[in-house]
Structure 1
Amino acid sequence: MTVSAIEANAAAAVLGVDAPALARDTPAKPSARRLLGLYLLLGFSAGLPFYMFNAVLTLRLARHGVDIVIIGFFAWIALLPTFKFAWAPLIERYDIPGFARFWGRRRGWIMLSQLGIFLSMVAMAFTSSDKSLPLTALFAILLAFWTTTLEVAADGWRIELAPTQTEQAPIVAANLWGYRSAMVAAGSGAILVAAWADWTIAYLVIAIAAFAPFPILAAMRPEREGTGGRAPALASGIGASLLILLTAALIAAAAGWILLSVAAGMGLSAKTNVTPFVLAVALLPFAALAMALPRINRLSAGTAATLPAFAAPYVELFWRYGYAVLAMLAFVSLYRMGDVLTLTLSHPLWNAKGYSLHQIGVADGVVALSASMAGVALGGLLSTRLSLGWTLGIGAVTAAVGNWVYVWLWHADPSALVLYTSVAVDQFGNGFAGAVFVVYLSMLVSPTYPGAQYALLSGFAFLLPRLLAGASGSMQTQIGYDGFFLLSGALSFAAIFLLPVVARVKGRIPA
């Protein structure tokens, strides 16, 4: 069976439509309501764990008195999604034993990922004292890896089901509503539970909530008839998944030990100014791509299809856009800069200003959710009414203002009004920019390689921001919180200057 047929059957199983209709040469579209419901659920599934290895973890470390520079280093865990293109082709090509036979490839990977998310969060719960920071980092890395894998499986499916800008906008909005509402629910819920009980209970509560979609998926009908019993497929799938999860944990532990040994050998510590090293590393992908582009440009149309599966999607993307891809990658690297940097130090900032866990929980809850959903809704709506150039420009401005508002918070006397207003402005801007940005990236990919190319573009978009986020603690010690948020907002705003170039880019069409 071809990959397209597998995806058609998987979509049919989840959406409740006839598989033969989805498998025809011109696939029948699922109803808009079912498609929106599907991506609301998938967004929620992926969004719950995100704050737990990011914003909630930085607050947890700050409350335990961990140095701000070390807290900044933990932001590098979020680099894992940046490199999801490295394993995205595996998700497109291989099945999860047991799960895939009954539920299909996409749901198989999603179910494996949810098991990984659940077990990683349980491990973080029982190491919540943070007495061993390397152990805390290991489980956070595993949580980030399986969260990212879940996103990769869902992104490729979304682009296949809705290939045009008009179709993408409402689906992206639904997906981000689910994703951001889950992030807010996880962040606010975990913090409020930690205020009431402790961090162990907080992580266990979110772990159980994140696992809720697993039995829903397991109860759904098979991908196609004649696939055998549900119980044997579930048992063999869980067994194979546990083996895969253990292998991934051992590989992550070994890689972490090597990296820590190398860092110690180089004399790196919390007192080291890592910003120059980070900037040098951030330039390497651009330099490597610039050297490879002349050769890629000389390839004939269709050459990418003859290359190995791990290289074909990326060569095709670079061939199609040529040297313009450098401007595009620079643009996407800047566009979400403020969002990433703000997420890294906003919670330590609130902690430094003396806000209580209860106040932070409310800010991360109803305030952030309402503002973010409003931003996503407006961004999705304008993406269907205006050109992407205009909506991207508006998004860059709103995202920058969302960073600059924290300069006011830093200098204002602490009060609930100041905190909630700042969070509302920040989350509205990031919600708007996030919705527009996902639509933009989705329009750049080829229908032949949607999952892998989207993984590359969305991962690369956060490479520079997350590299700098790891140095955010060092930057804060040198320029203060106000200087840090002025800089992060300015970097997001700078994406506007590349808009006249990227808005005119058109890809080559193979003959």
Structure 2
Amino acid sequence: MASDKRWRSTFSIYAQPRVRSMIFLGFSAGLPLLLVFSTLSAWLRDEGVERSVIGFFSWVGVTYSIKVFWAPVIDRLPLPLLTKWMGKRRSWMLLAQLGIVVGLMGMGSSDSHTQLQQIALLSVWVAFCSATQDVVIDAYRIESVSPEYQGAMAATYVLGYRIALLMAGAGAFYIADYASWKVAYFVMASFMVVGLIATLCLKEPEHKPVDVMKLRENATVKGQNIWQRFFTGFMVAVLSPFVEFFNRNGKVGLLILMLIAVYKMSDITMGVMANPFYLDLGFSKKDIADISKIFGFFMTIVGAVVGGVLVVRYGIMRPLLLGAVMVAGTNLLFAVLAVSEPSLVLLSGVISADNLSGGIATSVFIAYLSSLTSTAYTATQYALFSSLMTLPAQLLGGFSGVVVDSYGYTVFFIYASTVGLPAIVLVLLLMRYQGRIKTNSYNPE
């Protein structure tokens, strides 16, 4: 009975207002993504734009990978009037959301035949504002609650994000089918009101005072002109987050960065070939869509919620290890599917297990990354971690097709599972290091 009460108390974290608010911010973050990627590609192709031209639009995604370069500006620069009125995070959040609304409305107002260059520029603008919003929301999430609640914050964020992907994907297709693509983009722009209202209603998190004066005094020389002072201040803003991270973690910082780089590698490597694999097995596009939408969506949310609860109940490291083991293990299920007779029941089971493990691993990993940031440089450090989290995995994922063509799907999924072993080893090493720190710091007196 006591155990049941403890579990009920643990699940009650999802009733906290700031945890619930992440649903709306997650929706606002997820909505623009597909509108500058797959949904935009479908619109352009439907209008008869050549595939080679559409391919160039994929470069818009680079904007999300380089957000770490302007994250220091978001961390340090106050916005005139807005920051004084709304606070450090909410002011940037509101500005980014308004930029997304303007960009989407501009795309909807453009002619894909005569104003293709304008659509391209506006899609880059939307991606830039969207990446900026991601940086600010991540910083707000980390600063709003203590580390043990980060798993729950990540879970509700994932829920809102997934709902937004459905709206910007399937929802935009339905609207375009019944009306037009222009109407679809105007409707999507109007849905950003969810994020705008949330930003206006939220409370600004407390910001602890940051002692950076010493760094500035050391870096600034009397007699510098305005450009020299600007360059000095810029270097302090950019380099200080990295220096602080290694000062705080020492040599273990390298292990942490290695874990960040490889933790999602198994999941992303497998994901590249998932849909081609389903099609090659003979499943129809409708079967794949139905199963991935129904089982994939709900199992990801369930996994994210469970991950948030596990962080509250057991801390971060043990659930982090569980997520790494589950992701690598479920990839082996795809190898079983590859050597079995095609079955919708088996496909549903494998997709459910994959999305459940992915949901757990994602929410726990977000909580882990959040715990690594300093309140002095939240936006910059988390932007660095999130870029490092995806870039190596995406580069490795590019070779997935080569492995499949050379050795077949069975070997590929075993390979994808094996890619997850370094993450398991690194988590165990970090757990051992933390255990040693606790033992050394124990004083029997």
How far apart are 1:142 and its partner, in Å? 4.5
Contact 1:375 1:432 in 2 (8 A): yes
**Aligned-partner Cα distance in 1 for 2:111–2:412:** 29
Aligned to 1:464: 392
Structure 1 residue corresponding to 2:26, chosen from 21, 43, 57: 43
**Is 1:156 the counterpart of 2:84 in the alignment?**
no
Contact 2:89 2:139 in 1 (8 A): no
How far apart are 1:335 and its partner, in Å? 0.8
**Is 1:204 the counterpart of 2:185 in the alignment?**
yes
Change over 3 Å in CA distance of 1:121–1:354 after alignment to 2: farther
Structure 2 residue corresponding to 1:176, chosen from 129, 152, 158: 158
Structure 2 counterpart of 1:204, one-letter code: Y
> What 5-or-longer segments of structure 1 have no aligned partner?
1-30, 224-301
**Aligned-partner Cα distance in 1 for 2:49–2:281:** 15
**Is 1:427 the counterpart of 2:408 in the alignment?**
no
TM-score normalized by the length of structure 1 = 0.64
Q: Residue 310 of structure 1 aligns to a residue in which SS? A: helix
Matches within 5 A, 1:325-404: 325-350=253-278, 355-356=283-284, 358-404=286-332
**Is 1:442 the counterpart of 2:370 in the alignment?**
yes
Matches within 5 A, 1:429-508: 429-473=357-401, 476-505=404-433
Q: Residue 237 of structure 2 aligns to a residue in which SS? A: coil
Q: Over aligned residue pairs, what C-alpha RMSD do you find?
A: 4.4
Matches within 5 A, 1:114-193: 114-118=97-101, 141-163=124-146, 165-190=147-172
Change over 3 Å in CA distance of 1:50–1:36 after alignment to 2: same
Structure 2 counterpart of 1:112, one-letter code: L
Change over 3 Å in CA distance of 1:197–1:343 after alignment to 2: farther
How far apart are 1:464 and its partner, in Å? 0.5
Contact 1:48 1:206 in 2 (8 A): no
Contact 2:139 2:382 in 1 (8 A): yes
Change over 3 Å in CA distance of 1:384–1:180 after alignment to 2: same
Aligned to 2:225: none
Q: Deviations for 1:98-123, whole angstroms, at most 9, x for unmatched residues?
A: 65454344233223322443455567
**Aligned-partner Cα distance in 2 for 1:60–1:414:** 33
Contact 1:335 1:493 in 2 (8 A): no
**Aligned-partner Cα distance in 2 for 1:91–1:201:** 32
Aligned to 1:81: 64
Contact 1:36 1:171 in 2 (8 A): yes
**Aligned-partner Cα distance in 2 for 1:124–1:364:** 29
**Aligned-partner Cα distance in 2 for 1:161–1:366:** 32
**Aligned-partner Cα distance in 2 for 1:204–1:380:** 34
**Aligned-partner Cα distance in 1 for 2:179–2:282:** 19
**Residue identity (%):** 30
> What 5-or-longer segments of structure 2 have no aligned partner?
1-13, 205-213, 220-235, 438-445
**Aligned-partner Cα distance in 1 for 2:407–2:427:** 29
Structure 2 counterpart of 1:156, one-letter code: A
Aligned to 1:324: 252
How far apart are 1:469 and its partner, in Å? 3.6
How far apart are 1:59 and its partner, in Å? 8.5
**Aligned-partner Cα distance in 1 for 2:69–2:191:** 25
**Aligned-partner Cα distance in 1 for 2:300–2:83:** 35
Q: Residue 420 of structure 2 aligns to a residue in which SS? A: helix
**Aligned-partner Cα distance in 2 for 1:199–1:499:** 49
Change over 3 Å in CA distance of 1:190–1:124 after alignment to 2: same
Aligned to 1:108: 91
How far apart are 1:184 and its partner, in Å? 4.5
**Aligned-partner Cα distance in 2 for 1:487–1:131:** 47
Structure 1 counterpart of 2:165, one-letter code: M
Structure 1 residue corresponding to 2:194, chosen from 210, 213, 232: 213
Q: Residue 152 of structure 2 aligns to a residue in which SS? A: helix
Contact 1:184 1:369 in 2 (8 A): no
Worse-matched range after superposition: 117-126 or 396-405: 117-126
How far apart are 1:305 and its partner, in Å? 9.1
How far apart are 1:431 and its partner, in Å? 0.5
Q: Deviations for 1:218-263, whole angstroms, at most 9, x for unmatched residues?
A: 865998xxxxxxxxxxxxxxxxxxxxxxxxxxxxxxxxxxxxxxxx
How far apart are 1:151 and its partner, in Å? 1.6
How far apart are 1:150 and its partner, in Å? 1.0
**Aligned-partner Cα distance in 1 for 2:280–2:333:** 16
**Aligned-partner Cα distance in 1 for 2:203–2:149:** 27
**Aligned-partner Cα distance in 1 for 2:123–2:142:** 29
Q: Residue 66 of structure 2 aligns to a residue in which SS? A: helix
Contact 2:175 2:181 in 1 (8 A): no
**Aligned-partner Cα distance in 2 for 1:137–1:470:** 25
Q: Deviations for 1:431-486, whole angstroms, at most 9, x for unmatched residues?
A: 10011111111221222222222221222122201223445455555455554444
Worse-matched range after superposition: 207-216 or 495-504: 207-216
**Aligned-partner Cα distance in 1 for 2:187–2:335:** 31
How far apart are 1:358 and its partner, in Å? 4.1
Q: Residue 311 of structure 1 aligns to a residue in which SS? A: helix
Structure 1 counterpart of 2:140, one-letter code: W
Change over 3 Å in CA distance of 1:337–1:414 after alignment to 2: same
Contact 1:55 1:344 in 2 (8 A): no
**Aligned-partner Cα distance in 2 for 1:43–1:304:** 36
